[in-house]
């Protein structure tokens, strides 16, 4: 069997089309949604991600608000930028690109973001709201995964999900989303300390891997016909000496899985589409 590929890029393009319509409706009310990005330093990877976010904004009609600080910026300088964006009525949501340089306090920065402008959905208040089942901006990667599965008719209700990864941006919040009453999946949250990981993944209808360990999920660990979602993204040096990104799923899994969300072309584009969705939703709620 060769897995059907669930194309995150094409689905993200569909979502962007839908967002364009919503942005037009907002324009009629005199509202232009605005997304802010805060980038500290010159890491080429982070610069590329931030540039991608602004390209996405331009495609959909969202205004871009870019704030850049040098690699040696002080915590006070960063605080000042966040305070300014919190007060800016044209900024409906913003993100602080992670990772920050090591001398800066990431927790302090993330907690300074106004929870109602938290486009990433990663503010402690919003993660708390997610735990409690209250309305809140949702974390982009988990939301993108649920949306991609929903749009490709992968049943979640009653499905057994093996989720590998307990990180704050993907695994842990995704477990919370999938076990909401509206999804009703049954989730086993596994991680790098799980004994006999294969015993867990072999039982699953859906295996989602977000551990950041290249090749962690091999074909023998997958129930034939299961849906597999690759959320891994690790920079490796290829045989040609060039850097590239690789996922957590071994390529041979495509011969066993029924459906596969690949990396690249899967969760990444959906994450970006959900960031835009969060900002448009924040703008729609504006009185
Ligand atoms: N505050 C914050 N929010 C984030 O959401 C955030 C962050 N910091 N720091 C870094 C990670 C990483 N991340 C990616 C998003 C999209 C792709 C993506 O679209 N990747 C393409 C491949 C690369 C490309 O072609 O552009 C793909 O999977 O097809 C990758 C990685 C968001 N992050």
Q: Is residue 275 part of a domain?
A: no
Are the beta carbons of 137 and 118 closer than 8 angstroms? Answer: yes
Domain co-membership, 149 together with 262: yes
Residue of minimum CA distance from atom 1 in ligand 1:
97
Residue 240 main-chain phi, psi, to 5 deg: -85, 5
This model of the complex carries an ipTM of: 0.93
Measured in angstroms, how far is the CA atom of residue 96 from the centroid of ligand 1?
13
pLDDT band for position 1 (50/70/90)?
Answer: confident
Strands 243-246 and 234-237 come out as: antiparallel
Measured CA to CA, the distance from residue 218 to residue 250 in angstroms comes to: 5
30 CA → ligand 1 middle, Å = 31
**Does the residue 243 lie in any domain?**
yes
Which of 163, 193, 168 shows the shortest CA–CA distance to 178? 163
Q: How many domains does the chain have?
A: 2
The enclosing domain of 257 has a CATH number of: 3.40.50.720
Q: Please check whether residue 263 lies inside any domain of the structure.
A: yes
Nearest atom in ligand 1 to 267's CA: 28
Distance from Cα 260 to the centre of ligand 1, integer Å: 19
Within-domain flag for 232: yes
Other residues' Cβ atoms within 10 Å of the Cβ of residue 86 = 15
Task: Tell me whether residue 3 is exposed, middle or buried, using C-beta atoms within 10 angstroms of its C-beta: 0 to 12, 13 to 18, 19 or more.
Answer: buried
97 is catalytic: yes
Statement to judge: residues 152 and 261 lie in one domain: yes
What is the predicted pLDDT for the residue at 286? 86
Tell me the DSSP string of 180-199: STTT--EEEEE-TT-TTHHH
| pLDDT tier, 287 (very low <50, low <70, confident <90, very high otherwise) | low
User: What is the tens place of the pLDDT at every residue in 17-47?
Assistant: 999 999 999 999 999 999 999 999 999 999 9
In a domain, 5, yes or no: no
180 and 230 assigned to the same domain: yes
Query: What range does the domain containing 116 cover?
Result: 25-121
- Check whether residue 111 and residue 144 sit in a common domain: no
Q: Which of 56, 120, 205, 248 is catalytic?
A: 120
Residues 172 and 175: their CA atoms lie apart, in Å, by: 5
Cα separation of 146 and 170, whole Å?
Answer: 12
- Structural domain contains residue 215: yes
Do 261 and 144 have their domain in common?
Answer: yes
Q: In the annotation, is 107 catalytic? A: no
Domain identity same for 156 and 230: yes
Tell whether the model's pLDDT for residue 116 goes beyond 70: yes
What pLDDT does 109 receive? 97
Is 94 touching ligand 1 by the criterion CB < 6 Å? no
Same-domain check for residues 101 and 147: no
Cβ of 120 closer than 6 Å to ligand 1, yes or no, is yes
Q: Would 106 be classed as within a structural domain? A: yes
Q: Say how far apart CA 238 and CA 246 lie, in whole Å.
A: 10
CATH number for the domain spanning 81: value is 3.40.50.10860
């Amino acid at each position: 069997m060769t897995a059907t590929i669930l194309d995150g890029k094409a689905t993200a393009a569909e979502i962007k089309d839908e967002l364009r319509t919503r942005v037009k409706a907002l324009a009629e009310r005199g509202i232009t949604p605005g997304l802010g990005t805060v980038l500290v330093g010159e890491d080429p990877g982070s610069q590329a991600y931030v540039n991608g976010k602004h390209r996405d904004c331009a495609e959909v009609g969202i205004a871009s608000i870019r704030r850049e600080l040098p690699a040696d910026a002080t915590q006070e300088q960063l605080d000042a930028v966040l305070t300014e964006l919190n007060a800016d009525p044209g900024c409906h949501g913003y993100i602080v690109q992670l990772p920050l340089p090591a001398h800066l306090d990431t927790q302090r920065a993330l907690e300074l973001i106004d929870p109602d402008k938290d486009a990433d959905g990663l503010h402690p208040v919003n993660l708390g709201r997610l735990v409690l089942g209250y309305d809140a901006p949702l974390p982009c990667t988990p939301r993108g995964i649920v949306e991609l599965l929903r749009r490709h008719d992968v049943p979640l209700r009653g499905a057994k999900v093996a989720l590998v990864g307990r990180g704050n941006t993907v695994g842990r919040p995704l477990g919370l989303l999938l076990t909401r009453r509206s999804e009703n999946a049954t989730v086993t949250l596994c991680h790098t300390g799980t004994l006999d990981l294969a015993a867990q993944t072999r039982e699953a209808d859906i295996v989602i891997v977000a551990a950041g360990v290249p090749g962690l999920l091999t074909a023998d660990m997958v129930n034939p016909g299961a849906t597999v979602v690759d959320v891994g993204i690790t920079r490796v040096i290829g045989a040609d000496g060039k850097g590239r990104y690789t996922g957590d799923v071994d390529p041979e899994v495509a011969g066993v899985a029924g459906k596969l969300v690949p990396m690249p072309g899967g969760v990444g584009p959906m994450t970006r589409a959900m960031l835009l969705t969060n900002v448009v939703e924040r703008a729609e709620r504006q009185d």
